[in-house]
A and B are shown apart, each in its own frame.
Chain A
Amino acid sequence: NAGVTQTPKFQVLKTGQSMTLQCAQDMNHNSMYWYRQDPGMGLRLIYYSASEGTTDKGEVPNGYNVSRLNKREFSLRLESAAPSQTSVYFCASRTGKNQPQHFGDGTRLSIL
């Protein structure tokens, strides 16, 4: 009963490096989301995928790209990491609108 699984759990990058954060859900959910959480800022939506084959920008998409690989998997890519992208990243999924979201335990990313 894994739910939403995020890998890796921790990562340290140097400025300019690239990296892909992985997210997989086993609940047959249609919609998947990527958030970042910074102190005092709550959660901010980066990108989301309402259904397989679609992706849309959220509130803070600059510097990120996403891929909805299949119904289960939704990855987040940082092409050229910047210190401002140091954050905790959460992936979430849900069946659809007006339903609760299920969250992974996050990826803690530090960019030096």
Chain B
Amino acid sequence: SQQGEEDPQALSIQEGENATMNCSYKTSINNLQWYRQNSGRGLVHLILIRSNEREKHSGRLRVTLDTSKKSSSLLITASRAADTASYFCATEDQGGKLIFGQGTELSVKP
């Protein structure tokens, strides 16, 4: 069963615009992780946010976590064509079990 539900399933924007992807989950978590997957490649880790954290930044990436709403968002600012990829959230529970969402397909047009 999939814990993380991602929204939207697909997103198309112009270069320079911001992209926001959302992830909702159902049970309590230890942390939530975001990954990127380029076509034909494996997943690459972007950010890990722990359950006691509310916001985390890494370069042009900003992740928020609202444990009361069981949701997280990933914001990519000033997007580039190279950001075109699928983005996945993954929740980790206390036992270390990691469950991935179905992903958001982001297309950034030059």
Contact = CB atoms under 8 A, between A and B. Distances in A.
Interface in A72-107: 90, 92, 96-106
Interface stretch (B11-19, B73-81, B97-105): B97-105
Contact of A43 (B45, B88, B92): B88
A32 interface: no
Interface centre among A33, A45, A103 (most CB of B within 10 A): A103
B2 interface: yes
Contacts of B33: 100-101
B45 A102 contact: yes
Contacts of A53: none
A31 to B, nearest CB: 8
A90 B4 CA distance: 19
Contacts of B50: 98
A67 B91 CA distance: 26
Contact of B101 (A31, A42, A99): A42
B48 interface: yes
Interface centre among B31, B40, B43, B88 (most CB of A within 10 A): B43
A45 B98 contact: yes
A100 B48 contact: yes
Contacts of B41: 105-106
Contacts of B100: 35, 42-44
Given A43-B43, A43-B88, 4 more contacts: A90-B43, A98-B30, A105-B42, A106-B42
Interface of B: 1-2, 4, 30-31, 33, 40-45, 48, 50, 88, 92, 96-103
Interface of A: 4, 31, 33, 35, 40-45, 50, 59, 90, 92, 96-106
